[in-house]
Amino acid sequence: MIERGEEQVDRILSIMLRTGVLIAASVVFAAGIWYLSRFGGQHPNYQAFHGEPEGLRGLTGICKGVAALDPRSLIQFGLLLLIATPIARVAFSVVAFAVQRDKIYVALTAVVLLVLIWSLTGMGYAPR
């Protein structure tokens, strides 16, 4: 039988995931509509490859673009929110397991959180 505390944690986690996904999807959708309304009529040049602008490749540039209300930066920000949602869930799980005094799950979940953060910061990436 599931204890009351575990049910409450499960409910909070499900609300957290749903809310995060809905907010991220709303931001991406609204920014996508805005982007298409401004730039949808332009014809792409397929003769030359143009990668993402430097300002959309890092967190600082994305935040500056969001402050300037750039639609492409807002789309990137929505995608960052989508990535941050499960990370926030894992972080909350660490706290919930600590409150329940479940040391094994705290340790395992903390390792998962550290691996997620490590992989997202690019510290484990060595270019060839």
User: Residue range 38-44: average pLDDT?
Assistant: 81
Answer whether residue 126 is part of any domain.
no
Answer whether residue 46 is part of any domain.
no
Give how many domains the chain has, as a whole number.
1
Answer whether residue 127 is part of any domain.
no
- How far apart, in whole angstroms, are the C-alpha atoms of residue 1 and residue 44? 59
Residues 6+ apart with CB under 8 A from 97: 105, 106, 109
What is the greatest pairwise CA distance in the chain?
A: 63
- How far apart, in whole angstroms, are the C-alpha atoms of residue 63 and residue 81? 12
Domain that holds residue 84: 13-39+52-121
Answer whether residue 102 is part of any domain.
yes
Answer whether residue 128 is part of any domain.
no
Answer whether residue 86 is part of any domain.
yes
Q: What is the pLDDT of residues 79-109, one digit of tens each?
A: 999 999 989 999 999 998 888 888 898 999 9
pTM of the model: 0.78
